[in-house]
Amino acid sequence: MFASIPAVNRAIVACERCPRLRAYCRRVAREKKREFRDWDYWGKPVPGFGDPDARLLIVGLAPAAHGANRTGRMFTGDSSGNWLYEALHRFGFASQPEAVSRDDGLTLTDCYISAAARCAPPGNKASRAELDRCRPYLGAEVTLLARVRVVVTLGRIAHDSWLKAAGWWERLAPRARPRFAHGSAATLPDGTVVIASYHPSRQNTNTGKLTRAMWDAVFRRARTLLGPP
């Protein structure tokens, strides 16, 4: 269906499959947040970001309304991104520990970031139908990112979405599917290792459900599995 990662990204940016989400993203981009009133919001579906030869794939939930929906790049411009890029930099996957805009010079090495949904959903909750309509993009990335050996899923929805996009949901019996639990790792029949993690949302990090030590352990494990940068 898609010949390259850039082709997938172009299709994502132009996508209009989910009217509710598109209307919401446009409204947020028009009304803005007071602290970002001088920003020209992206307001479109957010494409994946990273190294097309990556061996590490990270799957998040969806763009944040005033994060990636504002900046146009995955996990850029919000607190979740601060957690993610600091860890990626610490373990040799990112060129710098923070991400503020698409032109901040950040590059990823051996790592690609995707998501279950590409539009910011109201209340951070996309419907099942919206997730289903968006999943072919993740499936295309799974096919094209042929060198991926480790997948980190951020939250249960991202975890299940990746299993479905990669075909494991149908190919494995329910009892054989990797279950979501923070820090759990499962090796699939093709050798891919999927590591589950709580999402670094404020709800998880501010309450201590996800600590820095727990978070770093996920990426330390990914780095150990893949070897030195």
Domain borders along the chain are: 5-226
Q: What is the pLDDT of residue 1?
A: 80
Q: Mutual orientation of helices 128-144 and 156-165 as an angle, nearest 10°?
A: 60
Supply φ then ψ for residue 175, to 5 degrees.
-70, -20
Contact assessment for residue 41 and residue 70, using Cβ atoms and an 8 Å cutoff: yes
What's the CA angle centered on 172, arms 166 and 178, to 5 degrees?
75
Q: Name the CATH architecture for the domain at 5-226.
A: 3-Layer(aba) Sandwich (3.40)
pLDDT at 229 over 90: no
Mean pLDDT of the chain: 97
Query: Which percentage of the chain shows pLDDT scores above 90?
Result: 99
User: What distance in Å separates the CA atoms of residue 49 and residue 63, rounded to the nearest whole number?
Assistant: 12
The mean pLDDT of 191-198, rounded to a whole number, is 98
What's the rounded Cα separation, in Å, for the pair 146 and 141? Answer: 9
Q: How many CB atoms lie within 10 A of CB 148?
A: 19
Encoding tokens for residue 51? 């190294």
Averaged over 34-43, what is the pLDDT?
A: 97
Is 0.85 surpassed by the pTM of this model?
yes
Mean pLDDT of 46-59: 98
CA quadruple 87, 93, 97, 102: dihedral sign: negative
pLDDT digits (tens, 9 = 90+) for 90-113: 999 999 999 999 999 999 999 999
Nearest Cα to Cα of residue 10 among 43, 42, 48: 48
- Cβ-proximal residues to 17 (8 Å cutoff; 6+ apart), any chain: 133, 134
3-28 pLDDT per residue, tens: 999 999 999 999 999 999 999 999 99
Please tell me the distance from the alpha carbon of residue 124 to that of residue 62, in angstroms, as a whole number. 7
Task: Give the Cα separation of 152 and 164 in Å (integer).
Answer: 15
In the prediction, which pLDDT does 85 show?
A: 98
Q: Distance (Å, rounded) from C-alpha 5 to C-alpha 27?
A: 28
pLDDT, tens digit, for every residue of 134-170?
Answer: 999 999 999 999 999 999 999 999 999 999 999 999 9
Cβ pair 133, 106 in contact under 8 A: no
Q: Does residue 181 surpass a pLDDT of 90?
A: yes
